[in-house]
Structure formats: C-alpha cells, structure tokens
Amino acid sequence: MAGWSCLVTGAGGFLGQRIVRLLVEEKDLQEIRALDKVFRPEVKEEFSKLQSKTKLTLLEGDILDELCLKRACQDISVVIHTASIIDVVGINPRESIMNVNFKGTQLLLEACVQASVTLFIHTSTLEVAGPNSYKEVIQNGHEEDYLENRWPTPYPYSKKLAEKAVLAANGWTLKNGGTLYTCALRPMYIYGDGSPFLFDAVTKALKNNRTLTSNSKFSVANPVYVGNVAWAHILALRALRDPKKAPSIQGQFYYISDDTPHQSYDDLNYMLSREWGFRLDSSLSLPVCLQYWIAFLLETVSFLLSPIYRYQPSRDRHLVTLSNSVFTFSYKKAQRDLGYEPLFSWEEAKQKTVEWIGSLLDQHKETLKSKTQ
C-alpha cells in the first residue's frame, strides 16, 4: 500500500479537523481528501497551513450526492467516515438525521465498492449501546456486553443502523475483485477545545451571569478528549493496514475513552470553566423519575399537536435518560487490538480546553466592546 491515499468525511468538523491534522504526519501518505458540505473560512486557513509533502485536497459536497461520493472515492485507499448530524435534542427533522447518518453511510459504502476502496473506518458513538434506562448502571462496560440502544430517537437509531451497515459490509467484494475491510469506533462523549457542546454551554452561561445550566448532575460518564479520539482513528487505520493485526480488527467495533475522571456532565463543564469564574446552578434539581414523567407528558402534548403544529419539547425521555445515567466504558479492547493509549493526558486535555474557554471570553469581551462603541 505504498503511496496510499485517504478520504476523511466530515473533515471540517470538531473531530474531522483533528484527524486531518494527525494524518499529515503519516508515512507514505500521498493525498488526503477532506470532504465536507462546507468549510468555514478559518478551517480553510488552518488546512492551508498543513500543506506538506502530503497533498491536502478540500472537497465541498453533500454526503447524499452519489456523484460527489464517486469522485471523492476515486483512487482512494482508506475512508475515515466521521460525517454525521449529531442531534440529541431534536432540532433537525427526523428525515434529515436518518438520511445523513444512515443513508449517507450506505451510499458511501457503495461508492467504496465501485471505486475499490479497501479500508473503511466508521466513527460511531457510545449511544448505539444506550443507555436505555436511567435505572440501569453500566460501569467500565466492554464490547462483549452486547448492549444495544432501544430508543427510536433519530440520532441513536440512525447511528445504530449506520454502524450495523458498516460492520456488515466487512468482507464485501470490490469492483476490482479485492475485499473491503471495515471497523467502527464508539467514542464516549467528546469534549475539548472547539467542542460545539461546550461552546453552547459557555455561551448560555455568559447570558446568565456565568451560571452553567445544571441538568445532568445524576450522571456518571467517562468523557474523552477529542485529540485522543482522533488518535484512535489513526491507530485503527495503521492496524487495518498491518497484515498481522488486521484479521482481528476487521468487522469489529471499539469503545474509545481515556483517563479523564469519571464524573457527571455538569461537573465536567464546571471543572473546565471554573477558572474563568463560571459556577453551577445551585438550585435544586427535580428527581430523575419526575423529570422522566414530565418529559413523557411533553412528548404526549407534542404528539397530539403534531397534525397542526410542530412542538419540540426541550427535553424528552431519551435526553433525560442520556443525561442522568451511570454509563461508562473501558478502552481495554482498543488497547489490546489497536495498541491504543491516550495521546493526551487528562491534565493536558484540561489545560487545552480551559485555555480555549478563556479565548471565548476574550471574544465575548471584544463583541461587547464593539457594541458599546
């Protein structure tokens, strides 16, 4: 595979950018094709600085455009598929989420067959495993537990179907007579500098006297730093290209976590922002069981209004469950098969994220200053 090439979908996103940054260091990599629907100007500028002996080509196109995918996959050796709509609150229509996350993955797999792409690495999610109930406790779970999300909510459902399609495609015959080999990575909740979720939390808090919204205090999660998730993709790529390691990895999925302390989502947001004067909302939280049934009533209202009005509750039962469950996983299988060890320590990840939050505050001050002038 000397002189190989790699396509990264969703390359302009939070994770995709990190993968591209690491890929430029890979040996014998001749070309990286970065595909996204649109690249923000700052991303284009950053990628322009990455140009090295490895050619970096930016492609703007839709994951549902078959002609675009056909062109993107031509003469490509490896696909890293990170593109998806991440939506746990139902902002996007169900059809859009299902189309991009599931149908887009199917179309990309078919394009790989036609272009005889041999390796396919899929960015899945912890949510394909659950949690299904806030009463269910999973601590340091592993791949052999065979957990499966039962929610019909579009994001986890679409990602579950997409992962199944990818793993089922392992062993497909390619147009040139070769074989397609696949694997999937299931990261925990991804945080870090550039996180859209953290950005939203900080932005809302700035409008509320630096008070962070508290609605996940009963959860226990093991968040993972974005740089370590990107690193896991590189190691999966290397392992699939290694004739000795590849047979044990093909058709497999892997949980990806790191050494970030297990904590609630609320505590993570607070820990990363307290240096800048942020604090958690100290008001009492409703018991989870009451939150759950209120969400059920709101879903019922939404259903009854659906023929005449689209009412989207701010929290449904799935989100209440996701936000308040004890649900953590070990990365031992990835450590064993992929040689995965976190590239960034918890202290390094925290420092980088804290500094980035500080830069958001600087931007906020500049915005306020310009408005008063």
Residue 273, pLDDT score: 96
Residue 366, pLDDT score: 82
Distance CA(136)–CA(150), nearest Å, equals: 13
Distance CA(89)–CA(82), nearest Å, equals: 20
Count of all residues that appear for the chain in the document: 373
Q: Is 44 a catalytic residue?
A: no
Q: β-pairing, 29-36 with 55-60?
A: parallel
Cα radius of gyration (the chain): 21
Q: β-pairing, 4-9 with 181-187?
A: unpaired
Residue 368, pLDDT score: 77
Q: Which of 27, 159, 244, 333 is catalytic?
A: 159
Residue 373, pLDDT score: 64
Distance CA(326)–CA(243), nearest Å, equals: 38
In degrees to the nearest 10, what's the CA dihedral of 279, 201, 228, 81? 170
Q: Is 138 left (phi over 0), alpha (psi -120 to 50) or beta?
A: beta
| Dmax (CA) of the chain | 67
Run means of pLDDT, 10 residues per run, the chain, 373 residues: 87 97 92 96 92 88 97 97 93 95 98 98 97 96 94 96 98 97 98 96 94 93 98 98 96 98 96 96 90 95 91 90 97 98 98 97 82 69
| Helices and strands, number each (H, E), in the chain | 14, 13
Residue 144, pLDDT score: 94
Distance CA(187)–CA(190), nearest Å, equals: 7
Distance CA(13)–CA(206), nearest Å, equals: 24
Residue 362: other Cβ atoms inside 10 A: 9
| Residue 359 near residue 276 (C-beta atoms within 8 A) | no
Residue 185's DSSP bridge partners are 123, 254
- Of 79, 84, 77, the C-alpha closest to 108 is 79
Residue 2, pLDDT score: 58
- On the question of a cis peptide bond just before residue 342, with omega within 30 degrees of 0, the verdict is no
Distance CA(3)–CA(31), nearest Å, equals: 8
The CATH classification number of 4-195+223-261+328-344 equals 3.40.50.720
Ranges of each domain in the chain: 4-195+223-261+328-344
Residue 282: other Cβ atoms inside 10 A: 7
H/E stretch holding 99: none
